[in-house]
Structure 1
Amino acid sequence: MSPIAKFAATRLSWQTARRAIVTGLLALHFAVAVGSISNKSITYDEIAHVTAGCAYWQYNDYRLQPENGNLPQRWCALPIVLTGRANLPNVDHAGWKTADVWTLGDAFLFRLGNDARQIIFLGRCFAALWGVGICLIVYCWSRSLFGDAGGLLSLVSCAWCPTLLANAPLMTSDACLTFFLTWCVWLVWQLLHEVTRTRVALASLAIGGLFLAKLSAVLILPIAAILVVARCFQAMPLAVGTGPNQRLLTKFADKAKAIAGVTGVCTLVAFVVVWIAYGARYDAFNPSQLPSGSYYKLKSLETATKFIPPRPRSIIQTLAAHEVLPEPYLYGAAFVVAHRERYSFFQGEYSLKGWKSFFPFCLLVKTPLPMFGLLALAMAALLLKKPPVTTAATESQRLADPNCQPANWAYRLLPVLVLLGVYWVVSLWSSLNIGHRHLLPTYPAMHILVGAAALWLTRPVGKFLVWSLVAWLGIESALVFPHYLAYFNPLVDRQAAHQHLVDSSLDWGQDLPGLQQWLSTHNAAGETQQPVYLAYFGTGSPKYYGIQGRALNRIGRSDIDYLPGIYCVSATTLQAIYEAQPGRWNHEYESRYQDLKQRLASDAEAKQEAPVTPETLGPTKANDKEQNKLSYSRYLRMLAYLRHRQPDDHVGHSILIFRLTEKDIHAALDGPPPELDDRPSLTRGAPQR
């Protein structure tokens, strides 16, 4: 065999092996993502996404949760609709008139006899495909920069990323946004070097998908603007067309005109895609299918705009007046801006304004340490090693290739760095500090950069360091299975993670099946005589999963007797973020609690001494109301006590187990308060969830 034939055979063999490796890693990522979530209960926001998505398909009506992206909700509901499992509540259900997606979702999954486990599993399988798509984009982009080895290294780090494994299979909009944002930035960068019909078509559809994924899609505008400016001032020609008809534009004005034309086409196609997704109709409500009604909580677009600042209010009102975009899309935008401030918890502190250090801390403690090691090697390689020379078949292809000129990493990596820079600037100034998941769109860019570490594989020491870090990453990812949502690296003790972060960074209501298994095991061990109390954060149904416990966190109940037993408390509930009286137990709460106790005790004494009449035989409405207030205050005081006590056990680190004795309960409800904050109570700003 000639040397050329041997080379061709070797290359063909490697190409086949490479494709097999890529396919295997993508399949492994999908299997691990779906497997990790298969025995988890529905998380807080998923119930709204899947219910709204089914309503979009079934009724062509968009009143339910328009603030969270039409496409991801349709996508996760698609297999449920196709298999005939979308048995939504009847049209006469009261939830349709008020667009109460939470009540409708609870009925859909847990009260109408539907197979909730099967519905959730099907939706999550489709949702997990976003993670596969993200991994594929990361591989292809990294390979175009750092070659086969770099692409595979990026793919491995992305496929084993706990953050992606935690969020991609959930029926939410975060992974969908991440997929389209990453893809759009790459497509825009490619278009800025070579304009072809295929690239224009792909970019147009991708941008349309991005604006249907989540309203954070607007970040593509500053990112694209920065890339366009950088490209226009770069001397490299802009190739337009393919083949013999290809033109190379060298003048600034010509390049600007071509870019403006492409921008117009992409905008027009994306605009049409958005309208199609909403049934080519301005109104959200479809009276031919469902009864007339209002939006949930904020009722109408006019009401929603009252909660937002003047400038965005003016823009939304103008767009609505001329029906430029569908009403549910505009309402969703107003809703998001109105909810720009929410109660947040961070390392024992509470705030409506957020913290500049919140997201950096999330990145630091919820990213595997070997990932930081790979990024450090990658940065060193980019500083010390020159980019490889890219070969091209023709001069025009060479000029149009963003990896050819200029020969420096700064230009080649510009779209990755701009994506990271813009997203981080916005994140640091955001007051919405409710979850590490909001950093998900930055992870693909970091995994692409990891590919640069492959430049060290030509040296023995570099090869040892790279493969050691890869092995460490794989082992750490495997050991945390299936609790990826609750993952923290060794910088934080996972037993005390709830003292640092909660909500979707740790506890999103996902561990009801695990709690049921824990209770079954311990009941079999002889704890059946102890009552079980549950303070659960989430939209799952404890009863559906076979959990028989007394619910503590139900406002309006006065029939809770606190007895020695097993107290199961969600980490998010423990921190009292979303309670009617949020935050630490303070002087105001304590004064109110003691006043209620004394007042009701005095009323009880007076009732015993009063003559027996029909009025004194039973409780009055006023007395019931006071009893309910006291019951709720007792519950919050119990949480304050438990915050200062080490849990006896946990389920997935998200549900904390406390075994309380009579002495503990007396200390919690009647002893000195374990915490007494001098700061005033948090005041409500924008509407909460």
Structure 2
Amino acid sequence: MIDYLKLGETPDHEAPEQKPSWVAFSLGAILIVSGALMFFAAKTDSGIMDELAHIPSGYGYVHELDYRLNPEHPPLLKAMSALPLLLLNPAFPVNDPAWTSAINGQWDMGSSFLYKSGNDPDKIIFWARLFPIILTLLLSLLIFLVARDLFGPKWALLPTALFALSPTVLAHGHYVTTDIAAAFGILLAIYAFLGNLSDPSGKKLLWAGVAFGLAQLLKFSAVLLGPLFLMLVFFWSIFTLASGSYSGFWGWLGSFFRIFFKKLWMTFLVFVIGVVIIVYPVYFLFTKNYPQARQTADTEYILSSFAGGPPGPNASCNPTRCLAEATIWATKNPVTRPLAEYALGALMVTQRAAGGNTNYFLGEISNSGSRSYFPIVFGLKETLPTLIFLLIAFFLAILAVFRGLRNKAKTFGQKMAAYFENNFAQFTFALFIAFYWFMSMKSPLNIGFRHLLPTIPLFYLLLTSAWKKWAESGKPLFKKTLVAVLLVWFFGETVFAAPYFLSYFNEIGGGIPNGYKYVTDSNYDWGQDFSRFRDWAKENLKGEKIAVDYFGAASPEYYLPGQAVNWWSAKGDPRGSGIHWLAVSVNTLEGAFGKPIYYFKRNPADEYKWLAAIYPKEEGIGGVPKPDLKAGTTIFIYRLP
């Protein structure tokens, strides 16, 4: 009988070890170094593409209490990031058409707010990034606390270090984006739910509901927690009974349903608490000044094509379209319209995922997605020492399963009961990873390694479980030395990646200088290098004009007035306008030169053929015209002869 999930106990049932002072010192050092690296990156990286929408949206929520911008993402990360901006009191252009008449005019509003309203965009971007940095550090601390409960304080340092000092985490951890926030909310919700599942109480039920609600406010991918929790209730009920004896099948079935429905009711209460106490009040606040008629009109327009559009006269809607119709109806009721805004965002995410996105991947361009995208990107973007940790952990887990199955002293039910009694948390982590990756890989929406971030802490916790058991068996000195060697290698990767964390690729992917040849967008080029380009242009061009085709949140004309000229391929050779310098974001270049597949059509005018006629292409995959130099890692600069 499984009576208690061993959260707070070591897997071998020994009392938790006293936390050594060096563990506290090491944890503090990890968090300080991680925070310092993110703080420096927040100062030196220019605005990335999604921040152009997220920052004005968040400020609109907290300053105007109006949710008309960026409804496809929940508000909490954006709103918390905008709170420091209230101290700056920037001008917010509420008379701009992007606010008054455009439907979800987030991009134009971002441009107007940052660059056309007399504000200091660099100060706004930096202050908005402070909360994401704090949240990333809190997630690192949460990983330590979960790992400490499962593996003890010394081994808890391993997943904490791998996460807090990961180049990918350091990159996304200082941007006003929702991926790290999703990882925080999902881990917190899983941890709280497991605590209440194994040892229920009113207090734990409340905290599980609050954690679930917070996760829903951080990213819509947290919706997957719903089916996950239902699966956990099923497995918990099954394996609670695995080692018991019952009067036949019907006796077992009756016991199963008693446990299952009791836990199912508890899970339903978790959902209700999360929605009623957390989600509803936040959306109520941020839709307070969003005019009801405007909300209805915006929702109708945004969902006009959802599931084939509205049904015809006297026709009933198909079940999927009925979700959109119900959401539109809910906007007309003052009680339900906060939930309607939440539902709108969830439906927008569903609609976007079904439609895919145009991206460059392994020399090709499409909007159909690839099942191999996320596994390959994971293999190219994770550090090699982390991949080695994971591979060894995987083989150790397989060996442990085979050894357990060969144990003749116990029945299969006893083996399962013993395993889940000590490893239900690890089973939960693996189940969510499998579920999340399955949903991601079957979707045509290939948006980058960042989409996998909610599963990264769980990977690191699982590898720690396997390594702890292995290292504390025979020859512990050799195994712990191997851990130390891999960690030193890992730290070296992070140090040498600075400050180009977003562009990090491991040695398999050619390292930072060559990662763009495999995949771009948020994996490599999100617009973060414009400040480095600006500094180069001011120092080297001495006022000479330069044509700029830039992908990101910065405004070339704002930072280089009278010098930067917005450009794109279809405008042709800038030498015809007397301009002999060209700067192009590598994300744009790969989009121009990648091979279209799966019926993807690209306008020939967008293919920079005139540039390829001047500069030879680089050899190998993703060959783009070889630049004369680069600003940072992502802005390719050409001196046109």
Counterpart pick for 1:507 among 499, 520, 525: 525
- Equivalent residues in 2 for 1:417-428 (5 A)? 417-428=430-441
- Mapped partners of 2:593, 2:115: distance in 1: 24
* Partner SS state of residue 345, structure 1: strand
* Partner SS state of residue 507, structure 2: coil
Counterpart pick for 1:111 among 106, 116, 120: 116
Question: What amino acid sits opposite 1:88 in the alignment?
Answer: F
- Mapped partners of 2:503, 2:434: distance in 1: 27
Deviations 1:411-446 (A, max 9, x none): 441111011100111111010012221111121111
- Equivalent residues in 2 for 1:115-264 (5 A)? 115-235=120-240, 251-264=255-268
- Equivalent residues in 2 for 1:563-642 (5 A)? 565-576=580-591, 633=605, 636-638=608-610
Aligned counterpart, 1:668: none
- Equivalent residues in 2 for 1:383-402 (5 A)? none
1:435 aligns with 2:448: yes
Aligned counterpart, 1:347: 362
- Mapped partners of 2:375, 2:601: distance in 1: 33
CA contact (8 A) 1:138 1:154 kept: yes
CA contact (8 A) 1:96 1:104 kept: no
- Mapped partners of 1:26, 1:232: distance in 2: 39
- Mapped partners of 2:36, 2:567: distance in 1: 37
> Aligned pair in 2 of structure 1 residues 152, 529: CA closer, same or farther (>3 Å)?
closer
Aligned-residue RMSD, C-alpha: 3.5
Aligned counterpart, 1:470: 487
Counterpart pick for 2:640 among 653, 660, 667: 660
- Mapped partners of 1:412, 1:559: distance in 2: 60
- Mapped partners of 1:344, 1:508: distance in 2: 13
> Aligned pair in 2 of structure 1 residues 48, 583: CA closer, same or farther (>3 Å)?
farther
CA contact (8 A) 2:209 2:270 kept: yes
Shift of 1:469: 0.2
Deviations 1:148-193 (A, max 9, x none): 2221111111111111111121101111111111221222222221
Counterpart pick for 1:444 among 457, 462, 465: 457
Shift of 1:306: 4.2
- Mapped partners of 2:120, 2:45: distance in 1: 15
CA contact (8 A) 2:369 2:444 kept: yes
- Mapped partners of 2:177, 2:385: distance in 1: 28
Shift of 1:62: 0.9
CA contact (8 A) 1:183 1:206 kept: yes
Deviations 1:475-500 (A, max 9, x none): 11011011111100011223332221
Aligned counterpart, 1:604: none
**Superposition TM-score, scaled by structure 1 size:** 0.75
> Aligned pair in 2 of structure 1 residues 407, 262: CA closer, same or farther (>3 Å)?
closer
- Mapped partners of 2:578, 2:566: distance in 1: 13
Counterpart pick for 2:92 among 88, 91, 94: 88
Aligned counterpart, 1:687: none
> Aligned pair in 2 of structure 1 residues 76, 582: CA closer, same or farther (>3 Å)?
farther
Question: What amino acid sits opposite 2:506 in the alignment?
Answer: N
* Partner SS state of residue 213, structure 1: coil
CA contact (8 A) 1:85 1:114 kept: no
CA contact (8 A) 2:66 2:286 kept: no
Shift of 1:304: 4.8
Aligned counterpart, 1:651: 631
- Mapped partners of 2:112, 2:551: distance in 1: 18
Aligned counterpart, 2:554: 540
Question: What amino acid sits opposite 1:518 in the alignment?
Answer: W
* Partner SS state of residue 34, structure 1: helix
> Aligned pair in 2 of structure 1 residues 200, 343: CA closer, same or farther (>3 Å)?
same
> Aligned pair in 2 of structure 1 residues 639, 254: CA closer, same or farther (>3 Å)?
farther
Deviates more, 1:562-571 or 1:127-136: 562-571
1:265 aligns with 2:269: yes
Aligned counterpart, 2:389: 374
Question: What amino acid sits opposite 1:204 in the alignment?
Answer: G
CA contact (8 A) 1:85 1:119 kept: no
Deviates more, 1:453-462 or 1:263-272: 453-462
- Mapped partners of 2:228, 2:551: distance in 1: 37
**Superposition TM-score, scaled by structure 2 size:** 0.81
> Aligned pair in 2 of structure 1 residues 384, 343: CA closer, same or farther (>3 Å)?
closer
Deviations 1:602-642 (A, max 9, x none): xxxxxxxxxxxxxxxxxxxxxxxxxxxxxxx3774346656
> Aligned pair in 2 of structure 1 residues 533, 235: CA closer, same or farther (>3 Å)?
same
- Mapped partners of 1:200, 1:107: distance in 2: 45
Name the % identity.
25
- Mapped partners of 2:361, 2:49: distance in 1: 19
CA contact (8 A) 2:158 2:464 kept: yes
Shift of 1:578: 12
Question: What amino acid sits opposite 1:491 in the alignment?
Answer: I
Shift of 1:143: 2.1
- Point out where structure 2 has 5 or more consecutive residues left out of the alignment: 1-16, 243-253, 311-316, 402-415, 616-622
Question: What amino acid sits opposite 2:477 in the alignment?
Answer: P
Deviates more, 1:185-194 or 1:546-555: 546-555
> Aligned pair in 2 of structure 1 residues 532, 236: CA closer, same or farther (>3 Å)?
same
User: Could you say which structure has the larger radius of gyration?
Assistant: 1
- Mapped partners of 1:467, 1:445: distance in 2: 21
Aligned counterpart, 2:68: 63
1:551 aligns with 2:566: yes
Shift of 1:109: 1.0
Question: What amino acid sits opposite 2:449 in the alignment?
Answer: H
- Mapped partners of 1:578, 1:48: distance in 2: 28
Aligned counterpart, 1:4: none
CA contact (8 A) 1:54 1:78 kept: yes
- Point out where structure 1 has 5 or more consecutive residues left out of the alignment: 1-10, 238-249, 387-402, 591-632, 662-689
> Aligned pair in 2 of structure 1 residues 421, 519: CA closer, same or farther (>3 Å)?
same
- Mapped partners of 1:221, 1:124: distance in 2: 30
Counterpart pick for 1:73 among 71, 78, 87: 78
- Mapped partners of 1:635, 1:561: distance in 2: 18
Aligned counterpart, 1:672: none
Deviates more, 1:558-567 or 1:211-220: 558-567
CA contact (8 A) 1:512 1:545 kept: no
- Mapped partners of 2:458, 2:295: distance in 1: 45
Shift of 1:233: 0.9
* Partner SS state of residue 534, structure 1: strand
> Aligned pair in 2 of structure 1 residues 644, 169: CA closer, same or farther (>3 Å)?
closer
CA contact (8 A) 2:306 2:324 kept: no
- Mapped partners of 1:174, 1:48: distance in 2: 15
Shift of 1:215: 1.8
CA contact (8 A) 2:366 2:598 kept: no
- Mapped partners of 2:295, 2:422: distance in 1: 57
- Equivalent residues in 2 for 1:485-504 (5 A)? 485-493=502-510, 494-504=512-522
Aligned counterpart, 2:323: 315
Shift of 1:116: 1.5
